[in-house]
Amino acid sequence: MDLSALTVVSTRTAIAEKQFTATRLVEDFYHKIKGEDGDVHAYLTLAEDRAFAQAKRIDAAVAKGDPLPPLAGVPVAIKDVMVTRGVRSTAGSKVLENFVSPYDCTAVTRLEAAGAIVLGKTNCDEFAMGSSNENSAYGPVHNPRDKTRVPGGSSGGSAAAVAAGTAVASLGSDTGGSIRQPASFCGVVGLMPTYGRVSRYGLIAFASSLDHIGPFTKTVKDAAVLLRVIAGRDPMDSTSADVPVPDYELEICKPVRGLKLGVPAEYFGEGLDAEVRIVVEAAIQRLQDAGAELLPISLPHTAYAIPTYYVIATAEASANLARYDGVRYGYRSAKARTLSDMYRKTRDEGFGAEVKRRIMLGTYALSSGYYDAYYLKAQKVRTLIARDFQSAFRKVDAILTPTAPTPAFKLGEKSDDPLAMYLADIYTVTADLAGIPGISVPCGETKSGLPIGLQILGRHFDEGKILRVAHVVEHELATR
C-alpha cells in the first residue's frame, strides 16, 4: 500500500471496502514516520495509544457492518497549538514542554467523532509566530520537497506531514498566512476558512481576532470534506458563527464558467519572484480558458497590510501570552524568590526570541501614550483593508493572487532579519485582517522543482466558491 498516495476520500473508501484495517494502516503510518520523519521533523509527539484505540473502534464498526462516519480510518496530524486531552501540546514552545491538556480542541473532537485517527502533534513556530517554522523551540522542520529549505510557517509541520505522506491530512492554524504559505511552499492544499467558520475552542491563542483553524490536504476535495466536518457553531467559542454549513463536496463540482475572478494589481508588483509570476499567471489563464471571466481590480490599501497586521497581532498576542506566568501550568523558573521575580524570569527564560520581540512590540503599541498612534490607528486601517475587499466583491466572485512572493527559501536565509521575514506574508495577511476565507492550491513549480501556490480569496462564508475555483485549477493542471 502506497501511503503517500492515499487521500481522505480514497482512505475512507478503502476502509469501508475492507482493503485494509485501520489498525494496519496506523501501524504502517507509524513505521513510515519513525523511518522517515527524522529528516523532516514534522512531528513533535506521537499519540500511539489514542490512535490505536480509535483504529480499534473503527475496525469493530467495519466488522459489524455498522454505517461508517465520513472520515472513518483517516489518519490525521494536528498542529501542536491545538490541545489534545492526554497527549502533550507544546505550541512549539519550551513554556509548554510538558503540558498535557485536560480537554480537547473542538476541531479535534469533531474529526475524531467523524472517525479520523489522530496520529500525533506537529511541529510549528513557537505560539504560531513565524513564517518558516524556524522559531520552534524544538528545532526546525525541513521541507520534504527540498530538505535544505523551509516548509513555511507557522504550520510547517502540518504542511510537511501531508507533503511527505506521513499523514493523509492535517490541521493547521492561520493568523497571518500560516496555513496558506506553508501549503504553497510544500506543494499541498491549505484552506483558511472564514473567521468564525471553525471554532477556536482549544486553539492556543495567538491573536484572537485573526486566528483560524483549517486543513492541509493533498486534494481540494479532501479539503472540502474536512471543512464540512470541523465547521459550524460551537457554544464554547462565542466568536464561532451561527451560519449553516453547506455541503462543500457538492459545491466544488460546479463549473467556473460565468464566474468573475478578480486579479489585483497590487499582488503582482515589485517583489514578486519572476518564476512565481509566470507560473501563477499561467494558472490564471487556464481559469479563463475554462470559462471564467477575469477582471483587473485594485485593493488599494494592500501596502499597509503588513504594518497593520504587526500592530494588531502583536498587541493581541501580548495579552494572550500574559497567562504564561508559571502559576497554573507550564514552565516555572527555578531561580525565583518572589512572585514578581517568578513572573519575569519564567517568561524571559521560557519564551524564544521572536515571541519576546512580538510581546514587546504589542505591549508598546498598547501602552499609554502610544495606544492611539499605533493600535487604534491600525484598527482603523484594518477597516479600510476590509472595505477594499467588500468593494471588490461587488464586482467579482473571487480574487486570484500568488500565495507567496517566492518559493520556499533556504533554512537560515531570513532568520536574522525579522522585518524581512515579516514581508514574506505580504499576500496572505490581508485575508486574515478582513476575516475572509482563502485557499492555496498547488499550481506549478519553479524550474528547480519547488512548489508554487495560487491563492484564491472569497467572500465571507463563501468557501464553496473558492473550493470550486481551486478544484478547477487542480483538474486543469493535473500537476500530480
Partner 1 sequence: MKVTEKDVVYVADLANLELTEQERQRMVKDLDSILTYIARLNELDTSNVPPMTQVFSDTSAAIKESAQDQDRSWREDELRPCLPHDEALQNAPVSDKEFFKVPKVIER
Which residues, numbered 227-246, are part of the site for partner 1 (CB under 8 A)? 233, 235, 238-239, 241-244
201 binds partner 1 (CB under 8 A): no
With CB under 8 A as the contact rule, the residue among 69, 70, 246, 307 that binds partner 1 is: 307
Contact 51, 27 (CB under 8 A): no
What residues pair up with 189 in beta bridges, in sequence order? 217
* CB of residue 92 to partner 1, shortest distance in Å: 17
With CB under 8 A as the contact rule, the residue among 380, 395, 410, 475 that binds partner 1 is: 380
Give the residue from 12, 69, 73, 76 showing the smallest Cα distance to 42: 76
* CB of residue 28 to partner 1, shortest distance in Å: 33
Residue 345 among the catalytic residues: no
Among 136, 154, 199, 318, the active-site one is 154
94 binds partner 1 (CB under 8 A): no
With CB under 8 A as the contact rule, the residue among 10, 57, 277, 304 that binds partner 1 is: 304
Give the residue from 324, 362, 417 showing the smallest Cα distance to 134: 417
Strands 117-122 vs 189-192: parallel, antiparallel or unpaired: unpaired
* CB of residue 319 to partner 1, shortest distance in Å: 10
Among 136, 155, 178, 415, the active-site one is 178
169-174 sheet: strands from edge to edge: 43-46, 117-122, 75-79, 169-174, 212-217, 189-192, 438-445, 451-458, 398-402, 260-264, 293-297
Residue 79 among the catalytic residues: yes
332 binds partner 1 (CB under 8 A): yes
Q: Give residues with Cβ within 8 angstroms of 230, minimum separation 6.
A: 106, 107, 110, 111, 171, 198, 199, 213, 215
Given the rule CB under 8 A, which of 117-125, 223-231, 333-341, 400-408 is the region that contacts partner 1? Answer: 333-341
- Kindly tell me which of 119 and 378 has the beta carbon lying closer to partner 1: 378
| Residue showing cell 473567521 | 195
- Kindly tell me which of 29 and 427 has the beta carbon lying closer to partner 1: 427
* CB of residue 79 to partner 1, shortest distance in Å: 20
Taking residue 341's Cβ as centre, other Cβ atoms within 10 Å add up to 12
460 binds partner 1 (CB under 8 A): yes
* CB of residue 316 to partner 1, shortest distance in Å: 12
- Kindly tell me which of 318 and 440 has the beta carbon lying closer to partner 1: 318
Written as nine digits, the cell of 169 is 491530512
Written as nine digits, the cell of 24 is 494496519
**Contacts (CB under 8 A) with partner 1, residues 21-80:** none
- Kindly tell me which of 127 and 216 has the beta carbon lying closer to partner 1: 127
- DSSP assignment string, 249-287: HHHTTS--TT-EEEEEGGGSSTT--HHHHHHHHHHHHHH
- Kindly tell me which of 337 and 480 has the beta carbon lying closer to partner 1: 337
Residue 414 among the catalytic residues: no
Written as nine digits, the cell of 434 is 478582513
With CB under 8 A as the contact rule, the residue among 4, 209, 446, 479 that binds partner 1 is: 209
Give the residue from 426, 446, 456 showing the smallest Cα distance to 284: 456
With CB under 8 A as the contact rule, the residue among 92, 120, 196, 232 that binds partner 1 is: 196
- Which residues participate in catalysis according to the annotation? 79, 154, 178
